[in-house]
């Protein structure tokens, strides 16, 4: 099946710093999402981005489908950005299945 | 707007007891429905998905089963829980068009003792 990798696995930042999270996948995809899991476990949708670039406030994301990767940018980080960031993909060859990456755990220190 | 509910929110069960977790979606018709499990400190593992009433696909062999008795209801069950069934269970839905963004419920935290 499709393989999804995320890097870095852990990231510690001072408040106000910028960061880039990466998601690599092993096959063509027609669905890619970024989620933030908050300390209570809720998965919050950040971006639906199978290709191209999107921005929402301090967050932006870029997916280069032909090169099989996606990037999530967090600027001017805040303590509320702490949590785990997941990338999830769905592929043309995989029906309705979605595969999640292992996540990046972000800690933003005050 | 669409909303997704899960209950119970938390559950503590003894080994060998049965399990029934429920997920319902409001505000949409004929959704695709998913059950995921997340072990502590780990990623999400897809357990089951359903594209319609009575249609269940299993991704991981285990002692769990799923059913979809109604269009917007998805149930996760077990006849006898194992310690390894402990975890955070998440239900999700997507539409059935080519734009199929997933949306998650609040989850059920299950502890098997």
Q: What is the pLDDT of residues B58-71, one digit of tens each?
A: 888 678 999 999 99
Q: DSSP label at A67?
A: G
Helix (H, G, I), strand (E, B) or coil at A65: helix
Residue in B10, B43, B92, B104 to test binding to A, most A beta-carbons within 10 Å: B43
| Subunit contact A96:B98, Cβ cutoff 8 A | no
A98 has a chain B CB within 8 A of its CB: yes
Spatial separation of the C-alpha atoms in residues A1 and A60, rounded to whole Å: 28
Predicted confidence at residue A13, as pLDDT, reads 96
B106 has a chain A CB within 8 A of its CB: yes
Q: Going from the N-terminus, what domains does chain A have, and what CATH number goes with each?
A: 4-109 (2.60.40.10)
Predicted confidence at residue B42, as pLDDT, reads 82
**Does residue B36 surpass a pLDDT of 80?**
yes
A16-20, A68-72, B29-33: segment of lowest average pLDDT: B29-33
| Subunit contact B43:A96, Cβ cutoff 8 A | no
Residues B18 and B76 sit within 8 Å (Cβ to Cβ): no
Nearest to residue B16, comparing CAs of B71, B64, B103, B82? Answer: B82
pLDDT band at residue A56 under the 50/70/90 scheme: very high
**Does residue B41 surpass a pLDDT of 70?**
yes
What residue spans define the domains of chain B? 3-112
Residues B60 and B85 sit within 8 Å (Cβ to Cβ): no
pLDDT band at residue B2 under the 50/70/90 scheme: confident
Predicted confidence at residue B98, as pLDDT, reads 62
Give B40: exposed, middle or buried? Use CB within 10 Å, 0-12, 13-18, 19+.
Answer: exposed
Helix (H, G, I), strand (E, B) or coil at B46: strand
Q: DSSP label at B93?
A: E
Spatial separation of the C-alpha atoms in residues B18 and B13, rounded to whole Å: 8
Mean pLDDT of B28-32: 91
Mean pLDDT of B12-27: 97
Nearest chain A residue to B91, by CA: A43
Q: Which residues of A are less than 8 Å from B45 in CB distance?
A: 100
Spatial separation of the C-alpha atoms in residues B107 and B42, rounded to whole Å: 15
CATH class of B3-112: mainly beta
Residues B66 and B56 sit within 8 Å (Cβ to Cβ): yes
Distance of residue A101 Cα from the nearest chain B Cα, in angstroms = 7
DSSP bridge pairs for A32 = A89
């Amino acid at each position: 099946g499709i393989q999804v990798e995320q890097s870095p696995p852990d990231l510690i930042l001072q408040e106000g710093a910028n960061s880039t999270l990466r998601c690599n996948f092993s096959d063509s995809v027609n669905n890619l999402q970024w989620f933030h899991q908050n300390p209570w476990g809720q998965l919050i949708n950040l971006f639906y981005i199978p290709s191209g670039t999107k921005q929402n406030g301090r967050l932006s994301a870029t997916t280069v489908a032909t090169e099989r990767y996606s990037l999530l940018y967090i600027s001017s980080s805040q303590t509320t950005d702490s949590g785990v960031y997941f990338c999830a993909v769905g592929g043309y060859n995989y029906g309705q299945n979605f595969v999640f990456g292992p996540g990046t755990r972000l800690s933003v220190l005050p | 707007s669409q909303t997704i509910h899960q209950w119970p929110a938390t559950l503590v069960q003894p080994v060998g007891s049965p399990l029934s977790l429920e997920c319902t979606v409001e505000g949409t018709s004929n959704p695709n429905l998913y059950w995921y499990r997340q072990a502590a400190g780990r990623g999400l593992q897809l357990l089951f998905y359903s594209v319609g009433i009575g249609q269940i696909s299993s991704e991981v062999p285990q002692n769990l089963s799923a059913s979809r008795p109604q269009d917007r209801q998805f149930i996760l069950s077990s006849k006898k829980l194992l310690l390894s069934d402990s975890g955070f269970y998440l239900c999700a839905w997507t539409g059935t068009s080519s734009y199929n963004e997933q949306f998650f419920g609040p989850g059920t935290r299950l502890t098997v003792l």
